Every structure is written in structure tokens, then in C-alpha cells.
Structure 1
Amino acid sequence: MATFTADQTPASIVKTFPKASDLFKERRIDFCCGGDRPLKEVFREGDYDSETVLSDLNTAFQKWQKEDQEVTDWDAMPSSELIDHIVGEHHAYLKSELSPLGEFVTKIFRVHGKNHPHLKELHRIYNEFKIDMEEHMVTEENDVFPLIKEYEQNPSEALKQEIIDANGGLEDEHEAAGNLLKRMRVITNDFQPPAGACNSYRITYARLADLETDTFQHVHLENNVLFKQL
């Protein structure tokens, strides 16, 4: 069985073992925007027990392999199919979730903000994230993704450079969105509601955790697969 090492990057590990994303999220190890750095650099800069992280990672991977899981080979998927997957799954999820979840974030801030001051910051950060992602999806669907599909059919250096220039801005936006999600995780104590929290509070935190999961996978597919195919 393959064994992951500190010389590998979080992004490459998640491609092989998708559930590694859960372990990385729990430990606040970036596998999407900053996922191209070897784990040894992450361990060196952060307060991590590298042996424990690698042991947990490989133990989970070996268990997962025994369950005979199928893994989508994203690198082998044509750009156009990958784009359709991103739009049909991740963009569709955000379009249906951002506004309703925003109402929950506003509700718990209004009801509980006096006793839980961090909800004011959560409200501000969430709405910044919502606006950024809505604008980001428009840019991708209207401008960048059509260019990538055109390049797949009729490649040219000029078109490639146009896409690369556009992607630079998108990757910056991805990093900004990732930082907002990381901040939301910190101020919500890893999306753990306080003792005695009402149902709305619990639902909000659970949906924020789902939002983080989906967005990190979304960004991972764009930064570490789609944009690398050019």
C-alpha cells in the first residue's frame, strides 16, 4: 500500500485520497489555495506533530483502500467536463445555499449577538464571503470558463496567455475566500455551537461547516486540477 510522506503536498494527497481533506480541515492544513507546498514546510511553520499527522493520514488511507473505494481521476477528465462538474455541482450548491444560510447567520446575530459578540464578526465575514463568491462565479461562468472550453477545442498561445492572466485574478480571489472561511472556523470554535445553543444556532454552524467543505473541494478542483491543465 502506498504511504504518504512529508515530501508530498496536501493537494496531491487529496487527489489520491479525497477523504484526506477532512483530516487537513480538522488540523487547519490548507489543501486548496496553498496546497502546493510540501507537508514538511507546513509542519515546519506550524505547531504540528508531524509523526502523528502522517500516521493518522496513512492509517485512514489504508482503511479507506480496504473499503475498495473508487476515486475519480480528475487529472484525466477533459477541461470541459470538469467545468461542467464544477458549475453543476459546486456553483449550483453556492447559488442555492448562500442566501438562505445568510438569513440564518443574520438571525443568530440578531437574537444572540448581545451575549455572543463573535456573531457580529461572523455576520460581517459571511456577507463578505457571499458577495465575493457571487461575483467570482459570474466572472468564471461568463468569461473564464468559456475561454478554457474554446482553448480545449482550438488551442493557441494567445488564448492560453489570456486564460493565464485571468486565472491569476481568480486564484487571488480563491485565496481571499479561503482566508474568510478559515477565519469563520476560528471564531466559531471549529463550528462547534456553545452549550445550550438553540436549533437555529446549531443549524447555522452545521451549514457553515458544509459550506467550508464544498468550497474547499471547489477551489481544489479549480486551482490544482483545471488551471493546471493549461
Structure 2
Amino acid sequence: MSFTHVSFLDQSLGQIATTIAGATAVFHQYKLDFCCGGQHSLREALAAKELDATPILSALQQLQQQEGEITDWRSKPVKELIEHILQRFHQRHRLQLPEVIRLARRVEHVHANDPNCPTGLTQHLEDMYQELESHMVKEEQILFPMLAGGIYPTGPISVMEEEHLQHGDALETLDKLTDNITLPAGACNTWTALYLALQELKEDLMQHILLENQILFVQPKASAQDDDRQMCCGSCQ
């Protein structure tokens, strides 16, 4: 569904929260009740709190348009790919996980007696956040600077690849806890927003791992092999 700024104002908070990934974080920031007050339009909610619509509309528009054209990262310099990973995935994960943890905690608290409640999801997401944060810090402080400098450290790369497998296992557990991120009938806005955000997190993390395993971690090695061949050919002449 495509929204303009005008139609955003005319949509209910609940509809926006359940159709635009990340919208709940914006609403939480401005204390807009998209759950119990989800039937109110954004225009009504902003008027009730006397809030300036401009920054909220801009944030929602950015969320809607954040996916651009697909880039062939194999043709880009290593430093450019690293910067993309830092901005597109590392920064986003650090925004995504606190929000999904907050939503999961709310769902588990309110719907504890519902047989469909994803019991244990909050703790699992907190564990994922801790493990992913440790992983990203090691990349930022150790591996990425080496790759940017043209060094291909097989040891640290092997460690990161092994941790990627662990992240994949964590996503499988997430699927089990949420019935493959499938909403039960009659789910509230918070539950719906949680599963939308989880789907985005899952897709982002999978794309993040793909870029590193299939492109970033092999590109410096390929360049080094090309340099070795050039040196060999030069010495044989």
C-alpha cells in the first residue's frame, strides 16, 4: 500500500502500525497510542496532543521509502560495502531489537493466558540482541578495519561465519516461538506490529549475513589472489 503525507494523516494509528515496519517506534517516541487508541486517525491523535505533524510524517515517509534500487555490491569497493553494512544493518539492528523486545514484553504480559502467546519470546530476543551486539562490535573494532586495509584474516572471518550460523539458529527458534511469525485470529495492534517488526528483523538479518558471507568475506581474498597471479606473471616475464 502506498501512502502520501495526506493519506497518512487520514489513516488510523492501528492501520499504520500494522502496515509500515518501524512505525511503532515512531509512535512510541511521540507517545501515540496505536493499540487501545488505534482506531483514531493520525490527524486526530496529533491534534489531541498538539504535536507538530512534520517530523512524524517525515519519519513515516522515510520508513516507507527506505528500500531503494538493488546494488551490485560485488562491483563496489570493500570500504563502500562496509559502510553500507554499518549504516543499513548495524545501525538498524540497534534500533530494531529494543523495539521488538518492548513489543514482545507487552504482548507476553497482556496475553499470558492466550494459548497462542509467544511465551519466552522476550527472553529469546534479549539473548539475540546481546549476541548480535557482541558480534557487531567485533566486526566494527577488529574485522572491518582489517578488510578495509586489504587484509584477509581467515581466523576472525571463520569466527564471524560460525556466529552467523548461530544467528541462523536463533531465527529458527524465533520462528518456532511465533508459529513462523503467523498472527493468531483477532490479534491486537501491538501483537500485529510485533510480528511485522519481527519479519523485518528476520529479513534484514538474513540479508546482512548474505552480504558478508557471500561478498564481503570473499572479495578481499579474491583481490589477493589476483595480486598473486599478477606478481607471478610479472616475475615470469
Distance 2:213 2:112 in 1: 36
Q: CA distance change for structure 1 residues 134 and 92 in 2, over 3 Å: closer, same or farther?
A: same
Alignment of 1:144-223 (within 5 A): 144-151=143-150, 159-160=151-152, 163-223=153-213
1:208 maps to a residue whose letter is L
Distance 2:172 2:101 in 1: 17
Structure 1 residue 76: deviation in Å? 1.3
1:225 maps onto 2:215 in alignment? yes
Distance 1:117 1:126 in 2: 18
Residue of structure 1 in register with 2:75 after alignment = 76
State the SS of the aligned residue for 2:217. helix
State the SS of the aligned residue for 1:211. helix
2:129 maps to a residue whose letter is K
Deviations 1:95-144 (A, max 9, x none): 11111221111111111123237522322221111111111111111111
Distance 1:201 1:147 in 2: 42
Tell me how many residue pairs correspond in the alignment: 153
Structure 1 residue 184: deviation in Å? 1.1
Structure 1 residue 72: deviation in Å? 2.0
Distance 2:182 2:116 in 1: 16
TM-score by length of 2: 0.61
Q: CA distance change for structure 1 residues 81 and 113 in 2, over 3 Å: closer, same or farther?
A: same
- Give every structure 1 segment of 4 or more consecutive aligned residues whose post-TM-superposition deviation is greater than 4 Å: none
Distance 2:85 2:214 in 1: 13
1:111 maps to a residue whose letter is V
More off after superposition, 165-174 vs 111-120: 111-120
Distance 1:143 1:127 in 2: 24
Distance 2:69 2:125 in 1: 34
1:176 maps to a residue whose letter is Q
Residue of structure 2 in register with 1:127 after alignment = 126
Structure 1 residue 86: deviation in Å? 0.3
Distance 1:200 1:189 in 2: 17
Residue of structure 1 in register with 2:30 after alignment = none
Whether the aligned pair in 1 keeps the contact of 2:78 and 2:148 (CA below 8 Å) is: yes
Alignment of 1:28-177 (within 5 A): 71-116=70-115, 119-151=118-150, 159-160=151-152, 163-177=153-167
User: Which structure has the bigger radius of gyration?
Assistant: 2
1:124 maps to a residue whose letter is Q
Residue of structure 2 in register with 1:154 after alignment = none
Distance 1:110 1:168 in 2: 40
Structure 1 residue 71: deviation in Å? 4.3
Alignment of 1:21-32 (within 5 A): none
2:83 maps to a residue whose letter is D
Structure 1 residue 213: deviation in Å? 0.6
Residue of structure 1 in register with 2:10 after alignment = none
Whether the aligned pair in 1 keeps the contact of 2:85 and 2:208 (CA below 8 Å) is: yes
1:89 maps to a residue whose letter is R
CA-atom RMSD in angstroms: 1.8
